A = this chain, B = another copy of it.
Amino acid sequence: MKYLISLKRNKDKIQKIINKVYINMNLAILFGGSSFEHEISIVSAITVKKVLKNFSLSFIFCDANREFYLIDSKNMKSNHFSTGAYKKDKKLILKQNGFASKSLFGLKDEKVGTILNLIHGRDGEDGKVASLLEFNHIAYISPRVDASVLSYNKLYTKLYAKSIGVGVVPYTLLNSSDSRDINLEYPVIIKPVRLGSSIGVSIVKSADELDYALDVAFEFDNQVLIEPFIDGVKEYNLAGCKSDKFELSIIEEPNKEEFLDFEKKYLDFSRDGKVGSADISNELKLDIEESFKKVYSSLFEGAIIRCDFFVVNGEVLLNEINPIPGSMANYLFEDFEGMIKRLTSHLPQEADIKIDYSYINSIQSAKGGKVK
């Protein structure tokens, strides 16, 4: 019996070591960017660093001028960036199959492993970072280019959701050049079509407040969406990804505040503790999960996203897709590290295109080499 317990103990120990070795893979957190959410991205990266204990992590900072720097782990503190001290870190150049740094004898490859894209807002969520990494044959966790464009633009998100049979909150689209002489039932919520978070968003309670709210929103975009503001609407968040199978988080009923101020936003993006599941019926849970899967498949493969749903008269409506949620919504997952590991080995592969010049050769031979 003693022997058996000892065996069991050793087995657990060995399994733990195996797990650790297995999970101890290279992952580079890419953060910063030329984005209104640049600072929030720094907070997000510092949080994810704390959560991913069993990875061998690197940190790549994209500064406001879009230069890349390899940040030493011990320098992952917000004032390292706000003071400009990061400029003393190693500057990186993006190239085919990875990053390089300048050395005396040209360029030296810097091995960083799979990239975890944590740039919120512009650059990270609008398709640019996905493009840079895809073009350069670098493995990455992030929405691909098309998924980024469809989720960065709230109008396209609506068109996409409707096309796959997922309901959305009704909306009116207004261009900055359009007449503002519109009939609305108040209250409404005004949102710039692009940009994440709550930037440029206002709740308008009556017609005389409309003009000012539109002015604010048009500061950030030339198109805005106007939606009915449903006071006290039930809101539920669900995050997830698809590795070899769907991996869904718990469903959270977020603590809603009309607006997140700076401090609250900081708390939101630096969350690393676990939260409780929303108290909802199993039927509603399944409905929300089904809607998430519809939105995710197959467009978002390679990404961990969070979908925010409204439930109105029992119907699940997609409010928005958060293609790169704050601190990757780690606090919603049972096994965040394991999921990242599994996703890393199930990233979508770009199709191979073989270029053999058979077309040019055939034209040249047909024309006796006259095609120049």
Contacts and interface: CB of A to CB of B under 8 A. Distances in A.
Contacts of A205: none
Contacts of A93: 93, 95
Interface stretch (A34-42, A311-319, A322-330): A34-42
Contacts of A43: 360
Contacts of A298: 222
A278 interface: no
Given A64-B353, A135-B132, A155-B163, A360 B39 contact: yes
A48 B139 CA distance: 35
Contacts of A263: 363, 366
Interface string A121-157: 0110011101110111100000001100110110110
A233 interface: no
Interface stretch (A2-10, A75-83, A283-291): A75-83
B82 A361 contact: yes
Contacts of A357: 39, 81-82
Interface string A10-41: 00000000000000000000000011101110
Given A160-B159, A359-B39, A361-B82, A145 B149 contact: yes
A150 B160 CA distance: 11
Interface string A68-104: 0000000001110110000000000111100000100
A46 to B, nearest CB: 7
A364 B78 contact: yes
How large, as a class, is the contact surface on chain A? 35 or more
A39 B355 contact: yes
In the complex, the count of this chain's copies comes to 2
Contacts of A153: 146
**In this complex, which of A43, A82, A362, A364 has the most chain B Cβ atoms within 10 angstroms of its Cβ?**
A82
Nearest to A267: B363
A106 interface: yes
Contact of A78 (B65, B163, B372): B372
Given A127-B131, A128-B131, A149-B146, A359 B163 contact: no
A79 B364 contact: yes
Contacts of A136: 66
A229 interface: no
A65 B96 CA distance: 8
A34 B353 contact: yes
Contacts of A160: 156, 159
Contacts of A64: 353, 355
B137 A46 contact: no
Contacts of A331: none
A252 interface: no
Contact of A135 (B123, B146, B262, B366): B123
A142 to B, nearest CB: 13
A277 B360 CA distance: 31
A128 B135 contact: yes
Contacts of A46: 372
A182 interface: no
A1 interface: no
Contact of A66 (B77, B96, B106, B127): B96
Nearest to A158: B163
Given A66-B96, A93-B95, A262-B362, 9 more contacts: A78-B363, A82-B357, A82-B361, A102-B107, A106-B106, A128-B131, A130-B131, A132-B132, A149-B150
Q: Which 10 A-B pairs have the closest CB atoms?
A: A131-B131, A82-B357, A149-B149, A64-B355, A128-B131, A159-B159, A39-B359, A82-B360, A77-B372, A127-B145
